[in-house]
Structure 1
């Protein structure tokens, strides 16, 4: 969630406990910028491993090294990427006994409750007894009360899904969303929350607890939908319990609250144009490529001849990743550069740079990266004269362009939806709340930390800097323990 939405939740009373922490002066609350893309894998690689350039272009992408599409909600894919991150030789915040719940990466944690360990039944079975220890004594509801509230919430979830799908006349994702609502957002969160209480009593040195319910609901219903806002009240009540146990633990914990990205309203391209992005890219009439765009992409180099050389067949891959998308036009290990795109795929360039619902197109140009918008081509140093709408963050666009040349997992083209309303953009996936893009809302993250704690988390400009400050305060000096 963006900080602006937390500010609203504090004022309107949706998060009364968090409001009390801030208003009493016990906690500092500030904006934070973690870098771009504004996605969970990128953030967690920076937070847990301290990597500034983790080569993670989103939540899903076509991985050139693996030769297939990967998704971070697939346990086997999360495990493969976690092993790749671990191969950088960095120390994780969770090394030496830390626990994690619902993170994507294991990152050296002692327990097995993250996406990248769910791929191993043997590991999960082996850790079952360990994970169940202490749950009975930490319960906050009796069995009958829990079953009754769980049944009522499940029934309300079924009714809401039926009403939503009928209103849109579209059932995609709804079955999975219903399962997520019942199993992950209710049973899963209840388990992780209770386990965190147990961990604090047992003295686990660091706990990284990811509350993903708001994110799940915001994708499917929108970040300001009533269903999404209800999750803020739920997490506020959970935080009150966590704070109470953190203070009463034999060795008290510092509790730090973070958001890894904001959520922006997303208007699906398919609703607006009646076709998906792949059809927009590869079908229909080809408009002329603007001369200014061609000159900007060449940057003084000679125009290329049409490249019609025979190559190993490769079916283009389009990854619709919310309000941005990765387009892979070649199967070779290295991404295509702008001059090569002009030679091989001028028709695709013409379509994407002329489509009114595509606000920006990013690609590599030589050793740098550029973005095409409004009929012009701009590098990171040229953004002051670029026609950026007020919805986009100049800082996030610049950060993305600086990182793209080092991100060979990103597409040959990276597309960003046009800003079409205040706080909203066109989305390429069928969802109504998106993140990963470059708007102000998506890059407007937040951090809360105890005023009397041993660490100052103000003025953060990247999630890797967050890792450095936490490691210095808590891992290197033996200071009090920490709960994220």
Structure 2
């Protein structure tokens, strides 16, 4: 009873402090803003003004607690970006209503000013609540635990087990090398990501893993969550048998890819047993989802596309803070892009239009919602949680993997990791935190920026079709046009810029520095012989271009063949290299295996093109408007990481590489099995999930897509911090 009275007293103290902060904020704003008054025109006494402010602040707080959740649920049908902008309007409307209900004084406020006042009061209340929470971690934990407990009771859950739960936190697009650099002490002696650096080497081991040829989230996350990357040749591709396009980040495509993977493996996914999927492309079989693309088109209590927003935005302080941070991020992006333009930084891409808002959504709104959902899962005792934080990947596409802009995003991601680790220590069951990425990123000038024409224009020129006059004036365009004219023995058809094309032409799609070329009028996959017969200059044009690393086609005689400059080719079926050098050599020792696997996919394109890679820098040329790209081979894009607790079995046997997202799925599933109960011996190459002896290539020479795992003794110097998250430099402020 004594403990209950103490808890009640602390609660009343917090409510009083937040109320006082709101009252003082309202008084201050009434003295500063000309369109906001807490007294009549004739003037009122200080007592009446104070009572009016206190009553207004109290009514605003009460309405926020009672009415705000209902409003947010009603607006879940509104697009996410619009919902973020509506936060200010809704908050202002509640304040206006609160002031109209006050029986004291005759306050008045301009409709535009009320939005500012409401935002300031919410911010003050949030700051006061956060300050008090610093000194009362138990209150914050109990609040979240009550929410999680209510949800678990609604689901009919039993008592929580004492076995460890697991949180898989995906830092989207963060490559192995970039992470290593972020863990090293910088000029001031502090790592860029101190919380993660404290984990690495002391409580966790850092392991690289190598992606498939399609080094992008669609393939990697499908493989990690559902155990299959079969027939996913790229981020986007054309399927001749149905005449349809599949794009990994479209809801209908994601749903279809998940359906195919489940049908192929016969299993629901990694998270089928009491799991939660947060911010991902796929569910992984989880019963609890939030911001998951593959189910975003469904309508149900737990699978609505915006169901994950309600739990976060039901708190008006959260909504206001996130909306303010959203606006600040938009302004930050505009300033950073302007600075890059004025400094004439290269490489550079256009960053206008809707991009500032898309960046703000990825780095602020989605991050806040996903992290809050993960905290609720942890305090609710969920067995397995997989969450994706996409902010770094989005910014790196436009600012580069190592730009100052991306460093700011990494610092904020580190704080999110620290907060999740801290809350995990206070969870009702033990938790293991696993950090991983789905791929890396390679920097470089875009293909169009480097050579003056797009991949589609190069393909059309090689086919003898019309290309824009701008492309014909470039060296690459002239070379392709002349090759086509010579091969076809006829002049190219002239045409004005902007004239409608009368030919169907090939379908050319780009996935980072991977290009896919399909001929929709030709049934089935065209062979090399058929392409040479009908478009004699095309393969030569592509293979000999300076910006193209290699070209994959299917030969009737030799099967899948990789073509390179100077007439060289690599016959993948036999491993025979003819005509000189191996065109796959610059892409590492695992390139041939990855390309051969993709060549056997039913929906591989007629021609698949990978850009060239700079041997010294690892730079590639994206066929999209990206200076940080991924999707193919070359550079750091194929080098992802896995940061796992030392108490779980090693991801792979000593000296064995970890190759492919399907392999990572088996490792993660093994760790879940270990957490559920006693498992088999954790050592040796025969352990479930490890590569069999003799698989793959021997030790990496450092140029390939998957470097060997580092020795723990050589871990970054920042990795000697204590194990507990509360001693990792984790912030105590709440989200």
Specify the alignment match of 1:465 in structure 2: 663
In the TM superposition, what is the alpha-carbon distance from 1:129 to its structure 2 partner?
6.1
Structure of higher RCO (CA pairs closer than 8 Å, 6+ residues apart): 1
Partner of 2:105: none
Give TM-score scaled by structure 2 length.
0.57
Which residue of the other structure, out of 562, 565, 588, is the alignment partner of 1:371? 562
Could you tell me how far apart the structure 1 residues matched to 2:351 and 2:524 are? 33
What is the aligned partner in structure 2 of residue 299 from structure 1?
none
- 1:417 counterpart (611, 620, 628): 611
Counterpart of 1:399 in 2: which secondary structure? helix
By how many angstroms is 1:96 displaced? 3.0
- Correspondence for 1:46: 223
Offset at 1:91? 3.6
Indicate if the aligned counterparts of 1:39 and 1:58 stay in contact, CA closer than 8 A: yes
Distance apart, 1:399 and its partner CA: 2.3
**Does the 8 Å contact 2:569/2:582 carry over to 1?**
no
List aligned pairs for 1:402-441, cutoff 5 A: 402-420=596-614, 422-441=617-636
Residues 515 and 608, structure 2, Cα contact 8 Å, conserved in 1: yes
**In 2, are the aligned partners of 1:393 and 1:440 still within 8 Å (CA)?**
no
Could you say if the C-alpha distance between residues 171 and 442 of structure 1 is closer, same or farther in structure 2, counting changes exceeding 3 Å?
closer
Q: Distance in 1 between matches of 2:527 and 2:674?
A: 43
Cα pair distance change 1:130/1:427, threshold 3 Å: closer
Q: Between Structure 1 and Structure 2, how many residues are aligned?
A: 454
- Whether 1:158 aligns to 2:334 is yes
> CA 1:199–1:127 in 2, change beyond 3 Å: closer, same or farther?
farther
Query: Deviations for 1:361-397, whole angstroms, at most 9, x for unmatched residues?
Result: 11223474221113201134246974458752231x2
Are 1:45 and 1:54, in contact at CA under 8 Å, matched by a contact in 2?
A: no
Cα distance in 1 for residues equivalent to 2:544 and 2:677 = 56
Determine the C-alpha separation between the residues in 2 that align with 1:171 and 1:46. Answer: 31
Match of 1:116 among 294, 299, 317: 294
The CA deviation at 1:326 is 0.5
Conservation of the 8 A alpha-carbon contact between 1:47 and 1:466: yes
Select the residue among 272, 277, 282 that pairs with 1:100.
Answer: 277
CA distance in 1, matches of 2:291, 2:416: 19
Question: 1 or 2, which has the higher strand percentage?
Answer: 1
- Cα gap change, 1:176/1:90 in structure 2, threshold over 3 Å: closer, same or farther? farther
8 Å Cα contact 1:368/1:405 also seen in 2: no
Partners of 1:191 and 1:117 in 2: CA distance: 17
Computed over aligned residues only, the root mean square deviation of the Cα atoms, in angstroms, reads 3.2
Of 177, 183, 193, the residue aligned with 2:371 is 193
2:670 aligned with 1:445, yes or no? no
User: Per-residue deviation at 1:34?
Assistant: 3.1
Separation of aligned partners in 2, 1:22 and 1:62: 42
Matched residue of 1:183: which SS?
A: helix
User: CA–CA distance in 2 between the matches of 1:410 and 1:177?
Assistant: 31
Residue 337 (structure 1) aligns with: 527
Q: Is the 8 A contact 2:273 2:384 kept in 1?
A: no
CA separation of 1:84 and 1:107: change in aligned 2, threshold 3 A? same
Other-structure match for 2:413: 235
Counterpart-to-counterpart distance in 2, 1:339 and 1:260: 37
Match of 1:81 among 252, 257, 274: 257
Q: Give 1:201-212 correspondences, 5 Å limit.
A: 201-212=379-390
Deviation at 1:121, TM superposition (A): 5.4
Q: Which residue of 1 aligns with 2:481?
A: 285
TM-aligned CA distance change 1:209 to 1:48, over 3 Å: same
Residue 355 of structure 1 corresponds to 545
TM-score, length basis structure 1: 0.84
> How far apart in 2 are the matches of 1:155 and 1:227?
13
Deviation per residue, 1:252-302 (Å, 9 max, x gap)? 22111111111001311211222211221122524389xxxxxxxxxxxxx
| 1:452 Cα deviation from its structure 2 partner | 1.5
Runs of 5+ consecutive residues of structure 2 not aligned to the other structure: 1-173, 462-479, 486-502, 679-735
Give the Cα separation in 2 of the matches to 1:333 and 1:474. Answer: 45
Q: Partner of 1:334: helix, strand, or coil?
A: coil
For residue 59 of structure 1, the aligned residue among 235, 244, 251 is 235
Conserved 8 A contact 1:35-1:461: yes
**Residue aligned with 1:411, SS:** coil
The whole-number CA distance in structure 2 between the counterparts of 1:259 and 1:156 is 26
Larger radius of gyration: 2
Residue 156 to residue 288, structure 1, CA distance change in 2 (3 Å): closer
Separation in 1, partners of 2:527, 2:628: 31
Give the gaps of 5 or more residues in structure 1: 290-312
1-structure distance, mates of 2:351, 2:560? 34
Q: Does 1:177 align with 2:355?
A: yes
> Cα–Cα, structure 1 residues 87 and 100, in superposed 2: closer, same or farther, change >3 Å?
same
The Cα offsets for residues 323-353 of structure 1, whole Å up to 9 and x where unpaired, read as 1210112445532122222222222112112
1:6 to 179, 203, 221: 179
Aligned equivalent of 1:394: 589
Q: Distance in 1 between matches of 2:508 and 2:482?
A: 19
